[in-house]
Chains A and B, each alone.
Chain A
Amino acid sequence: MNHLDRLEAQSVYILREAFNRIEKLAMLWSLGKDSNVMVWLAKKAFFGHVPFPVMHIDTEKKFPEMYAFRDRYAQEWNLSLIADKCPPVEEVDQTLPPAARSAARKTLGLRNAIERYGFNGIIAGIRRDEEAVRSKERVFSPRGESGQWDFRDQPPEFWDYFNTDLPPGTHLRVHPLLHWTEMDIWRYIAREKIPMVELYFARNGKRYRSLGDQDITFPIDSKASTIEEIIIELEQTRAPERAGRAMDRETEDAFERLRAAGYM
């Protein structure tokens, strides 16, 4: 097995474990590259089927290209799509800086959806290499009653034995892409020919490296207009992936606070 085969096998194992052990499971689908890979891996794991709902927590501020992508592939991939809208920004923690506040809407939207559908497992496509706080995550990560994450006292997780039982009122976050890097993601997209939102590919010298809400995501200077060119660009760049995401750097601990409160 080569490196991508190993990554794929590990993710498939995690998804199958989640599906077997967790009663009410849903997968978050942000329409970005990572979650498209995640849906793809689910189809690998379950032999062409995605046997749980795929959930888009809709901030109503995504790019039109992303909505078009969602509607097309929800159908083509035969997904059971949940696309509930987030509550207004006035309902979130007002002490957070502006961009983080916007991201926190998503946390609230997620919490509402969990309550509405009674999910006790949420599959999210975060990766360890994205952000320092995320690098501390577990594959199966328990969340308290209001979705918060206690990073100081995490259960042990080793030899691929995951903590799959949970106290009532809590839920599990499952992270099948935790061990992937941004480069792995693009190489896998290239190998598997996974469809992507065209915003990732350069037009007029600009492309998006990471996709979030329209108002808090910015494109980078780039000439990479194909997957192969993106991979070459990534091999050369030393700028962080989430440089175009305003919420990460407003204050030193903004992202950590978002995560502790239940952000993806």
Chain B
Amino acid sequence: MSTERELMRVVIVGHVDHGKSTLVGRLFHDTGSLADGKLEQIKGMCERRGMPFEWAFLMDAFQSERDQGITIDTAQIWFKTPKRDYTIIDAPGHREFIKNMITGAASAEAAIMLIDASQGVQQQSRTHAFLLNLLGIRQIIVVVNKMDLAGCDERTFAAIKAEYVRYLDEIGIVPNFVIPAVARDGDNLVHRSERMGWYQDGTLISALDSFQSQGELRALPLRLPIQDVYKFDDRRILAGRIVSGRLKVGDRLLFSPSNKVARVKTIEAWNAEPPLEAEPGQSIGIITDEQIFIERGEIASHEKAAPIETNVFHGRLFWLGRKPLTRGDTYRLRMLSRDVQVTVERIEAIYDPDSLSQRPAETVERNEIADVVLRSYALLALDEADDNPQTGRFVLSDGANIVAGGTISMRDYPDQRKLVTVRSTNITAVAHRITNTQRVSRNGHKGGVLWFTGLSGAGKSTIAMAVEQELFRRGYQTYVLDGDNVRRGLNSNLSFSPEDRAENIRRVGEVAALFADSGQIVVTAFISPYRSDRRRARAAAKDGFHEIYIKASLETCEKRDPKGLYRRARSGEIAEFTGVTAPYETPDAPELTIDTDRLSVEESVAAVLDYVDRKFRKHS
């Protein structure tokens, strides 16, 4: 079997009528890439229409295009050289079709820019160059076409070349080649032109073959956007495609912006050896050593080279929307798998790619390029475009459609990662000026968490509310965190999946620890069926944590069934229900057990109060 060949994607841009389709048609023919019969098919078609033969008809496959004589959309076709295969992306030059040009050009690794020698550099030649630069395409060939119309004159070529190179230089592009050509006749495409013997540099094909397929993404820091989380079987797999850097089994990963950390246990694979490492472009799935709550939209990196966290940035964007972009408007921002609302805080300037001038504006019209400031409510994890082309860009959508694409700059805005207090990063907790002793002294009691755990219907909420009432009456600072109340606000974005339940309990544990630290006695009333979740809550509140097992048999709880949940669980209406279809792990060594099979509500409350009086009083 033949060895696998490399494929490079090349975009062709240029002013309408400068001969792009002709160039492609001829290139295909001269490299021997046309299928048998294709040439005859187009010849026949032209004859039927009474038209002279046109190479462009190869690309312009649509009936409507043939009728109008222009290319409508981005088409992709293939040709080969001895070195590699090429996909040609033909981007239409007509101004109103700029969105299609961007669609085509954005994925290219190299660009051919076409200029008509008889017309020189036109507005679109400049706009396209500016856009290619914005899209991040750096390998560029300029073809000065229709040289026969300029008498194949060396000085005309030199003048056009000088003018265009000067412009490209201003926007930071240095073309790798500038080639004089007659595409219709094949001059300097595959074969050297005899008419233009004065030109000694490479042909179009030798220029293309000299380009490199991009490999620099490997050298950048690891960025793995999480695309989805799969639980098809007993594995919980984080899926995503690496956009830069390398990942190995055993690596400690930092997930941004949630700032959770976990180690890569395995890289999963089907019908293949599980790999030990992965590189940019690979769509992978990993299993982590700890069950952390991660959603689509997080970016995994190594801890040392993490992305920037911010909720505001500068974007240079091209606007494709039918309605103008307006200051104060809200759009959906997409950054790889992340998807959040952003507001246009400022329109800094509109660029005129033709004159390279800037002007202030209140709105950005379709096909304009602008610098804006975008702000979101949520924290974003990103990089500057200069540092990482993949995580340094974004798109905006409005309703169902993508309306803009752009690059990111952080000029003047700080990285907020260090402002966000998170346990899992190396952040130093800020010391309060009020000591714990001072709080105890004023309140007359210590702060702490009474963590109630037990089956649904065991009596947690009932006892918790009564305990709160009586503690308050006795002068304690106290508050109950109850499941339904917390889910209505703080945890309203969580479902009842196992991961979300764990996250629910994690957040409650953290909030309870803060309450306790402020000096209050906080009572939590959650089933919290898993030991691991309760262990984490204990770790958050440290010494102030008191696990209180509200014990009742399943039969008792089912008989009580205050919310009718057991009945619905038994009938299958509720899929996963603790005690019925999901496990409850009883506490190993609770600080206190209240057996509500034996004790009345009053007796239970009294037992808890007695415990609090013993453990929380100032001098106890």
Partner-B contacts on A (CB < 8 A): 1-6, 8-10, 12-13, 16-17, 19-20, 43-49, 51, 128-129, 132-133, 135-136, 138, 142, 151-152, 154-161, 163, 165-167, 181, 187, 190, 192, 228, 231, 235, 237-240, 252-253, 256
Contact = CB atoms under 8 A, between A and B. Distances in A.
Interface of B: 1-2, 4-7, 34-38, 45, 61-64, 72-78, 99-100, 102-103, 105-107, 135, 227-228, 230, 232-233, 235, 237, 239, 241, 268-271, 279, 281-283, 285, 296, 320, 334, 393, 395, 397, 399-402, 405
Contact of A158 (B35, B75, B77, B102): B102
A126 to B, nearest CB: 13
B35 A240 contact: yes
A129 B107 CA distance: 17
Given A4-B4, A13-B283, A136 B402 contact: no
Given A136-B72, A156-B402, 8 more contacts: A20-B296, A47-B268, A48-B232, A156-B100, A158-B103, A240-B36, A240-B37, A253-B63
Contacts of A235: 2
B393 to A, nearest CB: 7
B276 to A, nearest CB: 15
B4 A2 contact: yes
The 6 closest A-B pairs by CB, nearest first: A132-B61, A158-B106, A12-B283, A238-B36, A156-B99, A165-B400
A166 B400 contact: yes
A136 B285 contact: no
B336 to A, nearest CB: 9
B402 A161 contact: yes
A51 B232 contact: yes
Contact of B73 (A51, A129, A154): A154
B107 A49 contact: no
A132 B78 CA distance: 12
Contacts of B75: 132, 135-136
A161 B400 contact: no
Given A13-B227, A187-B4, A231-B2, A46 B73 contact: no
A158 B107 contact: yes
Contact of A44 (B72, B271, B279, B401): B271
A195 B169 CA distance: 54
Contacts of A19: 228
A46 B230 contact: yes
Contact of A256 (B1, B62, B227): B62
25 contacts: A1-B281, A12-B241, A16-B227, A19-B228, A44-B271, A45-B239, A46-B232, A49-B232, A129-B78, A133-B62, A135-B76, A138-B103, A156-B102, A158-B105, A158-B107, A158-B395, A159-B107, A160-B107, A161-B402, A163-B402, A165-B399, A235-B2, A239-B37, A253-B63, A256-B63
Contacts of A228: 1
Nearest to A178: B76
Contact of B400 (A51, A133, A142, A157): A142
Given A156-B102, A156-B103, A47 B76 contact: no
A1 B320 CA distance: 34
B235 A9 contact: no
B63 to A, nearest CB: 5
B347 to A, nearest CB: 21
Contact of A3 (B5, B64, B282): B5
A16 B77 contact: no
A161 to B, nearest CB: 5
A180 to B, nearest CB: 11
Contacts of B282: 1, 5, 9
B278 to A, nearest CB: 10
Contacts of A47: 230, 232-233, 235, 237, 268-270, 285
A225 to B, nearest CB: 15
A151 B100 CA distance: 11
A131 B590 CA distance: 70
Contacts of B281: 1, 5-6, 9
Contacts of A252: 45, 63
A53 to B, nearest CB: 15
Contacts of B76: 128, 135
A159 B106 CA distance: 6
Nearest to B235: A47
Of the listed residues A6, A47, A228, A240, the one surrounded by the most CB atoms of chain B closer than 10 A to its CB is A47
Given A156-B320, A158-B107, A129 B77 contact: yes
A3 B7 contact: yes
Contacts of B61: 132-133, 135-136
A157 to B, nearest CB: 5
Contacts of A8: 283
B228 A20 contact: yes
Contacts of B45: 252
B62 A16 contact: no
Contacts of B279: 1
A190 to B, nearest CB: 7
A161 B73 CA distance: 18
A159 B35 contact: no
Contact of B402 (A46, A128, A155): A155
B264 to A, nearest CB: 16
B283 A16 contact: yes
A155 B401 contact: yes
Contacts of B233: 47-49
A2 B232 CA distance: 29
A239 B76 CA distance: 19
Nearest to B75: A135
A76 to B, nearest CB: 13
Contact of A45 (B1, B107, B283): B283
Contact of B270 (A17, A43, A152): A43
Contacts of B283: 8-10, 12-13, 16, 45
Contacts of B103: 138, 154, 156-158
A231 B1 contact: yes
Contact of A16 (B78, B239, B271): B239
A245 to B, nearest CB: 14
Given A159-B405, A239-B37, A152 B64 contact: yes
A192 B99 contact: no
A228 to B, nearest CB: 6
Nearest to A6: B281
Contacts of A13: 227, 241, 283
A187 B4 CA distance: 9
Contacts of A51: 232
Of the listed residues A12, A156, A190, the one surrounded by the most CB atoms of chain B closer than 10 A to its CB is A156
